[in-house]
Amino acid sequence: MLCRSEGTTVAAHSNALEHGRGAYHKAPDYFVAYVCQRCHDLIDGRNGGLSQEEKRELWLRAFVRTVALWFERGVVR
């Protein structure tokens, strides 16, 4: 949903506390964004050296596109 790369799509859970993330557990599965592994590594801070704000912005942009895709494909109505 970010770089349009195909072949390694993964579900990147939100890292925001307000989305239910906490110590040793992930946010619920409805707070996921479809991204490639490279973008997932950026969002989770494993690569790229992005600030918290930059990582949050990347995830949010991908999340909005993911939810739009769910509606476009009729996954949700």
Digit-coded pLDDT (tens) for 5-60: 888 899 999 988 778 776 678 888 899 999 999 999 999 999 999 999 999 999 99
What is the enclosing helix (H) or strand (E) of 58? helix 52-72
What is the CATH classification number for the domain harbouring 56?
A: 3.30.50
Q: Is residue 58 part of a domain?
A: yes
Q: Please tell me whether residue 10 adopts helix, strand or coil conformation.
A: strand
For residue 33, being part of any structural domain is answered with: yes
Listed in order, strand segments (DSSP E) in the chain are 9-13, 32-36
* Number of structural domains found in the chain: 1
Q: Decide if 37 is inside a domain.
A: yes
The torsion angles phi and psi of 6, rounded to 5 degrees, stand at -115, 150
3 within some domain: no
**Do the Cβ atoms of 72 and 62 come closer than 8 Å?**
no
Is residue 4 included in any domain, yes or no? no
- Structural domain boundaries enclosing 31: 9-72
Residue 36 belongs to a domain:
yes
| pTM tops 0.85 | yes
User: What integer pLDDT is reported at residue 8 of this predicted model?
Assistant: 86
Specify if 77 maps to a domain.
no
